[in-house]
A = this chain, B = another copy of it.
Amino acid sequence: MKQNTIDRLISLFSKLPGIGKKSAGRITYHILDSNPALAQAFAKELSGLHQVIKRCGICGSFTETDPCYVCSDSDRDHSLICVVENAQDIRVIEDGREFSGVYHVLGGLIAPLEGISPANLSIDKLISRICNTQVKELILALNPTVEGDTTALYLQKILKDFNVDISRLASGMPVGGNIEYIDKLTLSRSFRGRVKI
């Protein structure tokens, strides 16, 4: 079968995260079988995507307006910054409706083996935010992985001379989890981070 529109679309879909060649085929044929309006809606949203969506000049998240709706909201606590790896994490935290401060997107985590050093992350911008605005507390909402731990440690080290409290999200057993099936590292963190009741 020579490379045609269907092949090209399948190969595009299989470049997306979590989509293999089989799923890409299933998706492509689903779109072909569906009302052409679905393909048109996709084409419309995607063709203008990078014109419409920009990075917020303050926090670095994706937004249609600059600054983003979080950074421009005066009801939020601008002295409390939640530091996240990427813009998608903001969405998850916003869905939780727990956090009332503002965000800062690092744009990755320190990973020497993948060639990501502190210079590749938006750390200078974070420091200038701390210097120029009345930031009192940083919450590091970074994944509890080797890269997340390394990045948290690095931030803690370079920010120790600034008058700002730094904390990190609690790591331990997920709600509804079962001690029997929990891995050793998570169990060890749960012990170390135990909470007095």
Contacts and interface: CB of A to CB of B under 8 A. Distances in A.
Contact of A53 (B25, B27, B32): B32
A49 B18 contact: no
Majority SS at the chain A contact face: helix
Interface residues of A, number: 46
A87 B46 contact: no
A19 interface: yes
Q: Copies per complex? A: 2
Interface stretch (A34-42, A131-139, A153-161, A168-176): A34-42
A148 to B, nearest CB: 18
Contact of A5 (B4, B17, B49): B49
A36 B50 contact: yes
Contacts of A19: 19, 27
A33 interface: yes
A124 interface: no
A52 interface: yes
Interface stretch (A6-14, A75-83, A180-188): A6-14
Contacts of A52: 5
